[in-house]
Amino acid sequence: MDQLLLNSGFPILSVLIFLPMLGALVLLLIKDEENCRWTALAFTTVVALLSLTLLSGFDSTTARFQFVEMRPWIEAFNINYTVGVDGISILLLLLTTLIMPFCVLVSWTYIKKRVRAFMICMLIMETAMIGVFVALDFVLFYVMWEAMLIPMYLLIGIWGGPRRIYASVKFFLYTLAGSVLLLVAIIWLYMQNGYSFFIPDMMWQSYSTSAQMFLFLAFFLAFAIKVPMFPFHTWLPAAHVEAPAAGSVILASLLLKMGAYGFLRFALPITPEATAIMMPWVLWLSIIGIIYGGFTALAQSDMKKLIAYSSVGHMGFITLGIFTLNLDGIEGAVLQMINHGVTTGALFLCIGMIYERTHSRDIESATGIGKYMPVYITFFTFFSLAAFAFPGTNGFVGEFMIIAGTFKYSLSQGNFPWLALASIPGAVLAAAYMLRMLQRKIWGREHNPDNSWLKEHDLNIREIITLAPFLLFVLWVGLAPKPFLNIMHSSVSALVQNFATCQAKAVAIAGTILN
């Protein structure tokens, strides 16, 4: 209990969790589609504004969980409703709440059928995602983790593209399969910890090495599928291509981050010895994902597929940073989780906007539009630069810290920095596929299709309002990332220090295996 900083004031986290669900219930009473849009926007905006109040009361100098609420839930099994945030989860919570209003805005004219059902799914999804990032009881976490599958399955399956059924079923089955072993691991931990599901009590315990190996593999399968890491990534391109614009934004910006968050919240603090043993394999698997994602993205002509495969590479950088297990690497990974959520989400918004006009996602269908849609191209250019970590953008700061952390890891092991050098081609490939797409959209080829009609269809006020905050964030983090690093610093430092205290036995075992 001393790991918690209890706050007995206003239950702000519960309000953030259940206010979107209240919005979904209100929508059941509204039949007019226009009113459904405004209602969904109102609820998501209120949740976003309320979430910002967390920053005023958050103490960034401590690694303890804050805004904690503890209430009995299923007393017979000692299951409690327990929520709280630390320096890592508060950033992901804010990412979730602040992006959702823009998902509603981009769907304003994009979704033309079953608008009420669509908005209900969006609000239920928001409740589940917030619940994942604030849960401190493992059953509550698992319920929210599974609950988000259903609305996302419906978003893809009902409002998706021609192959929506295939994509939605594949997404559902992949994620569900990964969750089965996670449930077994949760039950084992429950029995080993005095029949308690309280997550902080499970951290940094002296479980046997064999038990940790089982737990790590269970965690790894569940979270690697969600990230997704190579070779568990095959559900992602299909889901992105078929999902509506808002669904793609949620997938890229939020759902993928849950896998990386799972590694930080569970794999590292609950199975430190197994993490140290498996660390080299996960690092090289991340490198494979970076290179594979880059080459595959370079071969795509569908803009959504290109961004989807680029996410495999970008998330490879994030897992690379996490498993360096040093301060620079993990802080860079957490920052890059936020950066990727904003930048890739913005790119999917841009693709959705051009799709509304041309009804095509092919790069060649909207070539040479720079002179016809200058406002659109301006936004798209900045987001493309951020996607391949151009200096001055948010992506540069995150990737630089991750690569620096990777160098430090190799040098601390007395090895030549092969890992860091192997990640560099991923950055080069990112520049290649993003600049290729950008060049085609701005100037195109020698003979472009006649897109002069787009001159009258540049971004409208609603679309500019949607994209402007994303651009602000890209430049803010790129030029002044310190406020974001300060929020996470204490929590990441505590994670690294606690892991270091478990290293003597783990390093000895890992050294024996590797040698």
What is the tens place of the pLDDT at every residue in 121-159? 999 999 999 999 999 999 999 999 999 888 998 999 888
pTM (2 decimals)? 0.89
To which residue do tokens 């860091």 refer? 420
Are the beta carbons of 509 and 209 closer than 8 angstroms? yes
Q: Can you tell me the distance from the alpha carbon of 135 to that of 162, in angstroms, rounded to the nearest whole number?
A: 36
DSSP 3-state of 6: strand
**How high is the pLDDT of residue 508?**
57
Q: Can you tell me the distance from the alpha carbon of 156 to that of 140, in angstroms, rounded to the nearest whole number?
A: 25
Task: Count Cβ atoms below 10 Å from residue 325 Cβ, excluding itself.
Answer: 22
143 contacts: CB under 8 Å, gap ≥ 6: 131
**How high is the pLDDT of residue 4?**
52
**How high is the pLDDT of residue 514?**
44
Enter the tokens of residue 177.
Answer: 């399969």
DSSP 3-state of 450: coil
What tens digit of pLDDT does each residue of 371-381 get? 888 898 999 99
Comparison of pLDDT for 251 and 451, the residue scoring more: 251
Side-chain half-sphere CA neighbours of 209 within 13 A: 13
Domain segments of the chain as ranges: 271-510
**How high is the pLDDT of residue 135?**
93
**How high is the pLDDT of residue 243?**
84
248 closest CA partner among 328, 306, 322? 306
What tens digit of pLDDT does each residue of 290-338 get? 999 889 988 888 888 898 888 888 899 999 999 998 899 999 999 999 9
- Centroid of chain to Cα 444: 32
Q: Which amino acid is at 14?
A: S
**How high is the pLDDT of residue 42?**
94
261 contacts: CB under 8 Å, gap ≥ 6: 88, 89, 92, 132, 133, 337
CA distances for 366 relative to 78, 292, 301, 352, 363, angstroms: 57, 27, 12, 13, 6
Are the beta carbons of 300 and 309 closer than 8 angstroms? yes
**How high is the pLDDT of residue 89?**
92
Q: Can you tell me the distance from the alpha carbon of 234 to that of 248, in angstroms, rounded to the nearest whole number?
A: 15
